[in-house]
Amino acid sequence: MSLLGPITALGTSFCWSFTSTFFTLAGRRVGSMVVNRIRLVLAVIFLMLTHWAMLGTFFPWHVSPERWFWLGLSGVLGLLIGDAMLLQSFVWLGPRLSMLIMSLVPVISTLFAWILLGERLSTLQMMAILITVGGVASVILDQKGNNAAIVTGRAYLIGVLFGLGGALGQASGLIAAKKGLAGDFSALSGTFIRMFVAMIALWIVTFLMRQGQETLRKLKEDRQAFKYLLAGAFFGPFLGVYLSLVAIQTTEIGIASTLMSLPPVFLLPMSHFVFGERIGVRAVLGTLIAITGVAMLLSM
């Protein structure tokens, strides 16, 4: 088996661990909505330059309207709605617990495929779902692993709800993306379309709410937040997504998806040293159980 797929999948996990930390730091300085708006702009710039370097054009002009619809819908569901909720969850809960909730995305995606596409689940797949949910619930209930000065009872509940909303948005976005990427189509072009449509939609809403100038003002006044945003956009919507596509294309989806589900494990030391969180035994065991369940589900 080629090592390219597993290495790029692990690289994806590392990238998503870093990006969640950077976006958390930026969100606590300028707010999650500013982070969501600016990181899409930065990601589109990175992708546009990469698209030109690899495919010879800045913009995928040749793409059919049907692909634009499904990939655009995927961008709105996953990158706009789902990620907006995830970014707010980062602010309320911190990156480790938020990403643990997001580890449910493969499980929710499987359920959506069963309901919407008629794919039946085996008994072992149902067991894997229960194991994953149990592991995530174990970590969420271990509030000792959070900074009490940031996460209170009400804020904790709100953060969990935002995290679950983010997982639902991203899972539904994957279903739409599957239709848009059908056939022999460039994953880089598909990623660009998703990002571009999400960016346009979000900034239309931003200007309608008359928050465009306020967004730019906050960013201009806080240079450190912009640095966090630049790093987060590079590691997440740009490099992380690109590596994930390479991993899926060059190895079995079960292996790639399992290795890409490791950010909660990588975030344990980051949460401790960067955010000063105490990591309880239940959090560690819950992380291992959740990742084991995801691995079981995606390896079948």
DSSP sequence for 152-195: -HHHHHHHHHHHHHHHHHHHHHHHHHHHHT-SS--HHHHHHHHH
Name the DSSP letter for residue 31: -
CA dihedral 207, 233, 30, 22 (to 10 degrees): 160
Cα–Cα dist 148/65, whole Å = 49
pLDDT, average across residues 229-254: 80
Q: pLDDT category, 134, cuts 50, 70, 90?
A: confident
pLDDT, average across residues 97-120: 75
> What is the number of H-type helices and E-type strands within the chain?
15, 0
Q: What pLDDT is stored for residue 43 in this prediction?
A: 93
Q: pLDDT category, 77, cuts 50, 70, 90?
A: very high
The number of beta carbons lying within 10 Å of the beta carbon of residue 38 is 23
Q: What pLDDT is stored for residue 274 in this prediction?
A: 67
Q: What pLDDT is stored for residue 148 in this prediction?
A: 41
Q: What pLDDT is stored for residue 149 in this prediction?
A: 42
Q: What pLDDT is stored for residue 146 in this prediction?
A: 46
The number of beta carbons lying within 10 Å of the beta carbon of residue 113 is 17
Percent of the chain topping pLDDT 90: 20
Q: What pLDDT is stored for residue 298 in this prediction?
A: 63
Whether the CB-CB separation of 186 and 84 falls below 8 Å is answered with no
Cα–Cα dist 254/248, whole Å = 9
Q: What pLDDT is stored for residue 117 in this prediction?
A: 64
Cα–Cα dist 20/133, whole Å = 21
Q: What pLDDT is stored for residue 106 in this prediction?
A: 75
pLDDT at 300 over 70: no
For the packed helices 187-208 and 212-221, what is the interaxial angle rounded to 10 degrees? 110
Q: What pLDDT is stored for residue 147 in this prediction?
A: 46
Whether the CB-CB separation of 26 and 229 falls below 8 Å is answered with yes
Whether the CB-CB separation of 94 and 275 falls below 8 Å is answered with yes
- 126 vs 71, higher pLDDT: 71
Question: Over the chain, what is the mean pLDDT?
Answer: 81
- One-letter amino acid for residue 263 of the chain: P
- 258 vs 213, higher pLDDT: 213
pTM: 0.77
pLDDT, average across residues 221-246: 87
